[in-house]
Amino acid sequence: MQVCLIQVPYMIGDEHQGGSKGPQRYVQAGAEKLMAARGVAVTVERIERGKPFRDSSSASLAVNKELAAIVRQAIEAGQLPLVLAGSCDVGMGILSGFDHAGCGVVWIDAHGDFNTPESTISGFFAGMSVAVITGHCYQTL
């Protein structure tokens, strides 16, 4: 098996949020070495937003476009993309990176992330992640 370990060191496109530190901590703790010790060929990629952002949704979109490209490259190279992320909004970038017509989503999280702009109390964009990827809001994303 070949794995492309993809670090997304952002939380809703922002590298200054607490959750953005998680992906690097997995790498520092030896995620790559652990897989390699079990015979898994591993390459490591890191997503870079590349420019300042004006708001959370534009930052998230920039990160997700980069992520989609790396996921696509990994799949074309015969690798399984394994994404280490600091926020739920990366689901959009992952699904945008491959033909997902025949796939499903298993969402394992402490909360459903199925809010929409109409149902959210806080307006927290990452809390709408499942609603976005299932087409319940922000369909143009």
Return the beta strands (E) in the chain as ranges: 2-8, 41-46, 80-85
21/25 Cα distance (integer angstroms): 7
pLDDT (0 to 100) of residue 108: 73
pLDDT (0 to 100) of residue 88: 87
**pLDDT digits over 32-84, tens only?**
999 999 999 999 999 999 888 888 888 988 999 999 999 999 999 999 999 99
**pLDDT digits over 88-111, tens only?**
889 889 988 988 777 777 777 777
The pTM score is 0.86
pLDDT (0 to 100) of residue 74: 96
31/130 Cα distance (integer angstroms): 27
